[in-house]
Structure 1
């Protein structure tokens, strides 16, 4: 019995020693934690279990417990870089808005052309009608000016043949001034009609080009 008790005491001591060793080994086991590597502004390399200070402007490498790079955090941008990035974003937004407006304008222009014309021939027919109409008013104005010029010449001869001091001289001068004003108005009117015709040609040329590109998609009529 004494021998058995001694053996039990020895086995108990061994068991307690093993348990204590296991606990010590458990405490000594490595803890799975991130390791941060960073370089300060002076170029010194640091390793720590916490991220680098916010004041550092360097790139950061995050390692796992086995020393492998798990993540690379880029260095924070400088004030100049942030301003440039913001300007680039604003420029991109403006370009996107401009592109959207251009597509909307293009679609609206196509709808307007489809409502106005059925073919390129219709555009040319409209051009001819406008040319005839405006050309006719210009010709009538030219004929009217010819009549006014003949009338002015007739009055001028009467004025030249009137004796000095004749009471008719003042009337002749007044009639000639009125005729000069009417002739000037006819000439101004024709300039306006020619400008109008030029604007019509310009608009119809634009309509023809856009109709070809937007409605016919570049196909021949």
Structure 2
């Protein structure tokens, strides 16, 4: 009876363990993920849940058969995020610069089409400006020569004069002549600078007209 009873109790316990293991096996998902991660010491670990401390590292997910299903890359570092943000801002700036350049080319082309019918008009305008400003410069040079001759005449009179009153009057006249000569020179310099600026602008107009209007660039 004892042995029998012992056999009976053993049989019941064995069946209980069997059914418990069966329930446990049936409760597990058929395709549970297995996570592989490496700790700071380089030791490889496997688990069915991702490790929080491994969230900053690359993670590999395996299925229940041990086959790798996917690789979850490590999230970018702060430095990498800052670099990506800087690259994105630079790309946006370059895109905006390109858009603005296209708009500027279109506006420039419209301006040139409205201003000129052809390249000959640019050269005709250049000739008119050079003639007008060149004439002003020549007249200023002639006026300066007249003032210089008058200054020399007054200097001779001052040198020959024996009257202090006359010499004082000649000094006043010479000061006035010096100021008028300086004004003529300043005016002429301004006209020469103006002519140079006009020539430079017309050179640019000619170049842009050829490139944007005739050649159709942009």
TM-score range, shorter chain: 0.7 to 0.9
SS of the residue corresponding to residue 167 of structure 1 reads: helix
1:73 matched residue in structure 2:
72
Tell me the CA shift for residue 130 of structure 1.
Answer: 0.7
Tell me the CA shift for residue 57 of structure 1.
Answer: 2.9
C-alpha contact (below 8 Å) 1:123/1:208 kept by paired residues: yes
SS of the residue corresponding to residue 56 of structure 2 reads: coil
Structure 1 consecutive aligned stretches of length 4 or more whose deviation exceeds 4 Å: none
C-alpha contact (below 8 Å) 1:40/1:58 kept by paired residues: no
Task: State the TM-score, normalized to the length of structure 2.
Answer: 0.81
Residues 29 and 154 (structure 1), Cα distance of their counterparts in 2 relative to 1, 3 Å cut? closer
What's the CA shift string for 1:66-91, capped at 9, x where partnerless?
A: 33322211112222222222222222
Equivalent residue runs for 1:181-200 within 5 Å: 181-200=179-198
Tell me the CA shift for residue 188 of structure 1.
Answer: 0.7
1:5 matched residue in structure 2:
none
2:212 matched residue in structure 1:
214
Tell me the CA shift for residue 35 of structure 1.
Answer: 2.0
**Cα distance between partner residues in 2 of 1:195 and 1:28:** 94
| Cα-Cα RMSD | 2.6
Equivalent residue runs for 1:68-147 within 5 Å: 68-147=67-146
1:48 matched residue in structure 2:
47
**Cα distance between partner residues in 2 of 1:185 and 1:49:** 94
C-alpha contact (below 8 Å) 1:39/1:59 kept by paired residues: no
SS of the residue corresponding to residue 105 of structure 1 reads: helix
| Aligned residue among 199, 202, 216 for 1:201 | 199
Residues 88 and 28 (structure 1), Cα distance of their counterparts in 2 relative to 1, 3 Å cut? closer
- Unmatched runs of 5 consecutive residues or more in structure 1: 1-19
- Bigger shift: residues 147-156 or 48-57: 48-57
SS of the residue corresponding to residue 195 of structure 2 reads: helix
**Cα distance between partner residues in 1 of 2:40 and 2:95:** 39
**Cα distance between partner residues in 1 of 2:96 and 2:179:** 54
Residues 98 and 129 (structure 1), Cα distance of their counterparts in 2 relative to 1, 3 Å cut? same
Number of residue pairs matched?
199
Tell me the CA shift for residue 194 of structure 1.
Answer: 0.6
C-alpha contact (below 8 Å) 1:58/1:76 kept by paired residues: yes
**Cα distance between partner residues in 2 of 1:29 and 1:191:** 96
1:4 matched residue in structure 2:
none
Tell me the CA shift for residue 136 of structure 1.
Answer: 0.3
- Bigger shift: residues 27-36 or 191-200: 27-36
- Bigger shift: residues 105-114 or 27-36: 27-36
1:13 matched residue in structure 2:
none
